A = this chain, B = another copy of it.
Amino acid sequence: MASKREGLLLAAKKLLWERGYEGTSPRDIQDECGAGQGSFYHHFETKLDLAATALGEVSADMRDDASDLLNSELPGLERVALFLGRGRDGLKGCRMGRFAAEASIAEPKIRAPVKRYFDHLESLLTAALDEAKQSGTLQASVEPRALAALLIAVVQGGFVLSRIHRDKAAINRATATALALLRSSTTSRR
């Protein structure tokens, strides 16, 4: 029933990830999934409308993934280690962060799902770091919220490094170094 609609959404998610909003035309999306102009504009009012729907779904999926990873029973710092240590392909870019440099980020419909993801991630990391601080694993001088933002920046900047150096692992070295630094500023060292 909603076959073409789902196809268009799937194609949009793929191309928005690979090329961003400005780099993806309605025509590209149609060709990707074998739909015509009619299907596109029957199911979605504009390109922006389709992109907003697609990004809303991607944002929700990514928030769920982050929750699964950061809400475990493990100690706070180990949950953060899991987040930093999960392998990433730096050449693909972040499906949310890639829009930061685009003009399209000025569009509320684009920015909303993106910001919602980052706010959610920051909350999860802050909670984990706060727990680490309470338990004495982390130094008292660091503020969990500021530290959470820093770690998110490392991941986003890691994507930049990977793309520039054409080295998909550069981002993983950056996150590993961040974790090492975090652990080295830890109170309990046995």
Contacts and interface: CB of A to CB of B under 8 A. Distances in A.
A98 B182 CA distance: 28
A72 interface: no
Interface string A123-154: 00000000000000001011100110110111
Interface stretch (A4-12, A27-35, A41-49, A161-169): A161-169
In the complex, the count of this chain's copies comes to 2
Contacts of A173: 146, 149
A146 B180 CA distance: 11
A97 interface: yes
A178 B148 CA distance: 11
A98 to B, nearest CB: 5
Contacts of A97: 160, 164
A179 B180 CA distance: 15
